[in-house]
Amino acid sequence: MNRVTASLLILAALAVGVHSAAIDAPIDFYKLYDNPEAHISLKSKATTADRTAAHGYPSEHHHIVTEDGYILGVFRIPYSHKLQNQNVKRPIVLLQHGLSSCSDAWVLQGPDDSLPYLLADAGFDVWMGNARGTSYSRNHTTLSTDHPLFWQFSWHEIAIYDITAIIDYALGTENGQGQDAIHYVGHSQGTTVYFALMSWIPEYNDKIKTAHMFAPVAIMKNLSSRLVRALGPYLGHRNTYSVLFGSQEFLPHNEFLMAIFFNMCQPDFMLRPVCESAVATLYSGGRVNMTAMPEGMATHPAGCSTDQMLHYLQEQQSGYFRLFDHGTKKNLKVYGSEEPPEYPVELIDSLVHMWYADNDDLAAVQDVEQLAKRLPNKVMHHMADPEWNHGDFSLNKEVRKYVNEPVIAIMEEFELENGGT
């Protein structure tokens, strides 16, 4: 969803354009004030649970408290209404979103193509995580989002606190009881937190059956993103710029503005053409699911801490996959060394499937393959389509054929060979 922020800006501009065009023409004030839709009444934003329930799937919204006090909103499709398999033990799958995204991203393409629905219909118990700071995980046991300490986290904390909490909670929930491991799917930052967790707390590898990394991001030395390469020299080091930018909410959450964008993209709203026009402006190559994109604009960006971005920029500048760089003085205090330590990815012995592509500007082939050389138990899936890019793993109109179905087949084979343990 790396173009969604731009989408929102275009959408706003188009909305202004619509307004300008309207006032240049004669105004029928009677129709204006007699039109019930002119008196805009904003609908409540649909949650991931609402979206899945709308397609007939059983849907649950869980609140999970992490060891350091963050309260995560996590969604679950426990079984398939088509299979009626609620009384059968179902293998657990956790899906983890990318930076500034959320659980909504997994269901945008609807029940025929989206991975959560396909997994549920294949007999899996599906969990969709939301990292701290996203629209579904903006609560804490003691801190308000207005408190600067709330935003003092990077993807390292998401890895060691959020992902561990979700895995343990899912395994301890009804149906999870008696199972000791799950399947994991991550996209972009969802892969970063996996690599960080499984190398930093390696005992969690025992809780993984198969792991699927969509657009793996860890080593970032060779990425081609112009934005990241432009910002790296300024924000990828501990200096005045990064200190001023750090430990705050990126694009502060505004319920009113997000509600406006959400409502603009509703299928039955009069300004739906504005939303569709913005989508068409950005996505004209015919590769993405155009029906899903207005839903994406209605739900993204979903929020994050600027420290997550700083951490990625540090990776790009250093060329290493390592912990957050606090500067020499604090590094000595926290790590006992002037430089932050590298993640020992050699300790990741869970079965990792790497799904990567030539046209991904954030996960360069060279970087992915360099990381893979250090992983003891991996399978490489180099996408054959030379145009496949970072967002295609969630938005491509053929993602079911080229990614989702192969992933499910791998999970099913594992279950068959291991007796569903």
Spatial distance between the Cα atoms of 353 and 155, rounded to a whole number of angstroms? 21
* pLDDT score of 63 more than 70: yes
- Average pLDDT estimate for 263-274: 62
> Tokens 């849907």 correspond to what residue?
59
pLDDT by residue (tens digit) across 144-174?
999 989 999 999 999 999 999 999 999 999 8
Residue 243: the pLDDT is 76
H helices present in 319-391, as ranges:
328-334, 365-372
Q: Exactly one of 360, 367, 381, 392 is catalytic; name it.
A: 360
* pLDDT score of 257 more than 80: no
pLDDT by residue (tens digit) across 24-51?
445 454 454 455 544 445 556 788 999 9
Question: What number of other Cβ atoms are within 10 A of residue 32's Cβ?
Answer: 10
Burial (CB < 10 A; 0-12, 13-18, 19+), residue 244, is exposed
**Which tokens is 413 given?**
């084979």
| Every domain of the chain and the residues it spans | 45-419
- Average pLDDT estimate for 379-396: 92
Residue 304: the pLDDT is 87
pLDDT by residue (tens digit) across 273-306?
666 665 555 454 557 665 655 566 666 677 889 8
How many residues are there in the chain? 421
**Which tokens is 286 given?**
């015919």
Average pLDDT, the chain: 85
Q: What is the DSSP letter of 158?
A: I
Between 249 and 41, residue with greater pLDDT:
249
Q: Evaluate whether 125 touches 88 at the Cβ level (below 8 Å).
A: no
> Tokens 């009384």 correspond to what residue?
87
390 is catalytic: yes
Q: Exactly one of 100, 154, 188, 318 is catalytic; name it.
A: 188
> Which residues, other chains included, contact 224 with Cβ-Cβ below 8 Å and sequence gap of 6+?
361, 364
Question: What number of other Cβ atoms are within 10 A of residue 328's Cβ?
Answer: 12
19 is catalytic: no
* pLDDT score of 254 more than 70: no
**Which tokens is 149 given?**
């300490």
Q: Exactly one of 103, 390, 392, 394 is catalytic; name it.
A: 390
Percent of the chain with pLDDT over 70: 77
Spatial distance between the Cα atoms of 55 and 49, rounded to a whole number of angstroms? 10
Residue 60: the pLDDT is 97
Beta strands in 203-357 (DSSP E): 208-214, 352-356
Residue 21: the pLDDT is 36
Percent of the chain with pLDDT over 90: 64
* pLDDT score of 82 more than 90: yes
Spatial distance between the Cα atoms of 84 and 229, rounded to a whole number of angstroms? 50
Euclidean distance between the first and the last CA atom of the chain, given in angstroms as a whole number: 35
Question: What number of other Cβ atoms are within 10 A of residue 384's Cβ?
Answer: 9
307 is catalytic: no
- Average pLDDT estimate for 240-263: 67
Residue 18: the pLDDT is 38
* pLDDT score of 79 more than 80: yes
Helix, strand, or coil (residue 198)? helix
Q: What are phi and psi of 275, to 5 degrees?
A: -60, -45
Between 108 and 194, residue with greater pLDDT:
194
- Fold of the CATH domain 45-419: Rossmann fold (3.40.50)
